[in-house]
Amino acid sequence: MNPNILFISDLHIAVEKKEITRRFLSFLQETASQANALYILGDLFDSWIGDDDNLPPNPAIKRALKKLTDTGVAVYFQAGNRDFLIGQAFARETGVTLLGDYHVIDLFGVRTLLTHGDLLCSDDVAYQAFRQKSRQPDWQRNVLSKPLWLRLLAARWYRLRSFWHKRKKNDDIMDVNPQTVIETLKRFDCQRLIHGHTHRPAVHEIMLDGETAQRFVLADWTAASGQYLRWNERGYAIIDLD
pLDDT at 156: 85
Amino acid at residue number 203: V
Q: Which domains are delineated in the chain?
A: 5-241 (3.60.21.10)
Q: pTM for the complete prediction?
A: 0.95
**Residue 173 backbone phi and psi in degrees, to 5:** -65, -35
Compute the radius of gyration of the chain from its Cα atoms: 18
**Which residues in the chain come in under a pLDDT of 70?**
1-2, 161-173
CA gap 182, 185 in Å, rounded: 5
pLDDT score recorded for residue 125: 93
Dist CA 158 CA 55 (whole Å): 18
Summarize pLDDT for 148-195 with one digit per residue, the tens.
999 999 888 877 766 656 655 666 667 999 999 999 999 999 999 999
State residue 139 phi and psi, 5-degree precision: -60, -45
